[in-house]
Amino acid sequence: MGLDWYAHGRVLVWSVLDHHSVCSLECHLSSTSQEQTLSEKPLFVLCRFEDKLPGFDVFVCTADPKMEPPSLVINTVLSVLSSNFPSEKLSVYLSDDGGSELTFYALWEASRFSKNWIPFCKKFKVEPRAPEAYFALHSDVHDTKCGQEWFDIKKLYEEMKNRIDSIVESCKIPEKTRNQHKGFSEWNLKVAKNDHHSIVQIITDGRDTNAVDKDGCRLPTVVYMSREKRPQQPHNFKAGAMNALLRVSSKISNAPFILNLDCDMYANNADAIREALCFFLDEKTGHETAYVQHPQVYNNVTKNDIYGNECIATNAIELAGLGGYGAALYCGTGCFHRRACLCGKKYSKGNIEKWNIEGQKSTMDNSIQKLEESTKPLIDCSYEKGSQWGKEMGLIYGCPVEDIVTGLAVQCRGWKSVYYNPERPNFLGVAPNTLEIALVQHKRWSEGMFQIFFSKYCPFIYGHGKIHFGAQMGYCIYLLWAPVSFPTLYYATVPPLCLLHGIPLFPKVSSLWFLAFAYVFVATNAYSIAEYVMCGGKLKAWWNLQRIWLIRRITSYFFAFFDTIKRQLGLSETHFTLTDKVVTDDVLKRYEQEVMEFGSSSIMYTIMATTALLSLVSLVWGTKRVVMDFELKGLDQFISQVILCAILVLINIPVYEALFFRSDKGHIPSSVMYKSVFMLTLACLMPI
């Protein structure tokens, strides 16, 4: 058998010991300095005896064909189906919480297209392997070396995409199409988004030697799953879907390693699975590794990252620092797991896990129909009642950010986690392209993380003596996003109000104490800029990030704080808000031009606009009053507040434009402006 090789960070050598042992692994770091990060180390991997590689299950989750278009979902599926990994050892599971036959239809179409797409990718070493992303990067045949085959595969893809989009638009599957696969019969019964029976359909059976692509090579297994949902029955959102996938996959493929992806995050590196194996199979630390987390990187971030989605410094420094403690955050997507860890297994030193290859082969005697029928009861609403699922097994329930708390629980069982940030991102997702979507997303995250802080899973309590104290503090950087809203809101309102009323808050410029305030301000921002630029960011992107952090803290985090308190008092329940992946062409155009998108009457915008107007009025009227009433002596007292208001005004320039000058659909509605002016008037008339 020939040698297969690829590049990215370590040397991997496989050798067969005996019939029952799978392989031994010897990893040697190259001559690169030991102090370099994982993302900087060159990796050269040599693999022999690929029949001894472990199996890999890939979980992709979606929930609504309107907010998460099926054509987007199947691009993620196709990107992992065509990975550089033995197809017979790869299984891809799509969890559809919406129970939509439109999503099932799209997956069926994708499985048929994969018979041409997989051999095309492997023959020409295509990157990336999500068709939409590939053809966007290579829009002309002259950009490739594929010749006529490029035209043929592009035509097949566009025809498939058009069929999917037209059927999704019509919301009806033609009878002729329904007759081509038995799975469509599941929708002969009444199926509603939140009220439907369990559905499991094996679309491609990777065990079948006759399931081959156009070159005669085996195809990966493809499975559609939609767990049962009933009104008044808790379904535990994405955590419930992941746990259902764990149970179903254990009966079909039962691979020892799992990759989970959001439906909008495609594989950007065909060797991503092989790279992950380097960490799990490292002879020194692999046996204690529970999961390998990649950063969330996006393919649609604007030049200067208008909504601060990229998190350059966070990815390069904060998350990497937590990874240094063996406590990398589990972020819910782009993560490779050891199945046993997700299923609740505790780490035991010296316990070397063996891959159950024989167990994986035990399903060979079961027909597709038998497997489908035997797995359906595993995803019924009643299956988890009285069990440890959602507690000690699988992802943990009861929190909107089930991924973070699950990662913490796994680490507290003695396992380590790895944060891997390669130079070329292994996965790329879709970033929010409107301000409202970005704020709603951060509200959900900050609310969920603040709930963790109040729960029994608080790192300082649950993690005490189990994970490093530095890791406990690292977790709390994110868990305490919500209360950070108060000091930010204070600085955005109190200094401007006091300036307006002629009340000094900071030391005079002539005072030595002024130097302390000036030093903190200058040093903090200079360090922040240097850190951001050294991580590869631009100065304008850093400025945009300061704006978005201000807006997040006084809106998303502020509301998240009170919603969490209400939940702790039993006055409300946890809700999961799905992020919309669909926007109109004019919204997309403004996003690409880096024009901030408002366009709704959200109460978040009312608070944002009120603080922005307060800063503007305070700067103009307060400065005039200081100069006129106190002459130049007033500047000595109020210069700090004037500078702070000036910075707030500069940060809020896009808000003023949306309030007073823009006429497109993305401007701030008049109703928001009237409410903001009313609140501003009350604030200014308030006696201080």
Q: Tell me which residues are annotated as active site.
A: 97, 403
Say how far apart CA 354 and CA 632 lie, in whole Å.
79
Supply the DSSP string of 498-531, one letter for each residue: HHHTT---S--TTSTHHHHHHHHHHHHHHHHHHH
Single-letter amino acid code for the residue at 140: D
Tally: H helices and E strands in the chain: 26, 14
Contact 83/177 with Cβ under 8 angstroms? no
Token match 């990060």: residue? 37
Backbone angles phi, psi at 634, to 5 degrees: -65, -30
Single-letter amino acid code for the residue at 561: F
Under DSSP, is residue 397 helix (H, G, I), strand (E, B) or coil?
Answer: coil
Token match 């498939």: residue? 160
Nearest to 21 by CA among 373, 281, 250: 281
How many angstroms separate the most distant Cα atoms in the chain?
92
Instruction: Give Cβ neighbours of residue 152 (< 8 Å, ≥ 6 apart).
Output: 116
Under DSSP, is residue 16 helix (H, G, I), strand (E, B) or coil?
Answer: coil
Alpha helix ranges (H) inside 237-271:
237-252
Token match 């620092």: residue? 321
Contact 56/38 with Cβ under 8 angstroms? no
Say how far apart CA 322 and CA 411 lie, in whole Å.
12
* Token pair belonging to 27: 């990893």
Alpha helix ranges (H) inside 21-130:
70-81, 101-124
Contact 334/265 with Cβ under 8 angstroms? yes
Say how far apart CA 334 and CA 266 lie, in whole Å.
9
The DSSP secondary-structure symbol of 579 reads P
* Token pair belonging to 687: 């006696």
Nearest to 475 by CA among 323, 334, 343: 323
Supply the DSSP string of 101-157, one letter for each residue: HHHHHHHHHHHHHHHHHHHHHHHHT-SS-SHHHHHHH--SGGGSS-THHHHHHHHHH
Contact 43/54 with Cβ under 8 angstroms? no
Alpha helix ranges (H) inside 266-335:
272-280, 312-313, 319-324
The DSSP secondary-structure symbol of 345 reads P
Backbone angles phi, psi at 58, to 5 degrees: -115, 125
Say how far apart CA 256 and CA 147 lie, in whole Å.
40
Q: What is the dihedral of CA 656, 659, 663, 668, to 10 degrees?
A: 120
Say how far apart CA 629 and CA 158 lie, in whole Å.
70
Contact 451/308 with Cβ under 8 angstroms? no
Length of the chain: 688
Backbone angles phi, psi at 11, to 5 degrees: -105, 130
Nearest to 390 by CA among 239, 233, 234, 225: 239
Contact 27/278 with Cβ under 8 angstroms? yes
Residue 579, class by beta-carbon neighbours within 10 Å (0-12 exposed, 13-18 middle, 19+ buried)? middle
